[in-house]
Amino acid sequence: MTSCDIANKRCQPCKSGTPPLDVTTCLALLEKLPDWLLQDNKLEKSFAFKNYAETMVFVNALAWISLREDHHPDLIVGYNRCRVSYWTHDVNGLSENDFICAAKVERLLEI
């Protein structure tokens, strides 16, 4: 599965009792996402931009993805940077939805 394959998927609601993805699955999916890291059981990446305007365009596009997929990351936003952190509260860990959204974020930067 490539990042393009992952990005073409849609997030699905996690059913009660759904376990988080195992480490092997997370590492396999992580290989498809350049520069994303597994940190403290979260999927994270920092993005750098030229200025505040570019940062905010990225944040607004990411917000649109989040609303469309109904899966929302934690963001730390500065003048020319944004740190994105995905984690699925319903499974108390990582789900496929985290990787789907990360792949969609990567697709933003291909434009």
pLDDT at position 16 over 60: yes
Q: How many Cβ atoms sit within 10 Å of the Cβ of residue 57?
A: 12
pLDDT at position 64 over 70: yes
**pTM score of the predicted model:** 0.92
pLDDT at position 90 over 70: yes
CATH number, domain 3-108, options 3.40.50.2000, 1.10.1740.10, 3.30.1360.20, 1.10.620.20: 3.30.1360.20
Contacts of 96 (CB under 8 A, 6+ apart): 9, 12, 21, 29
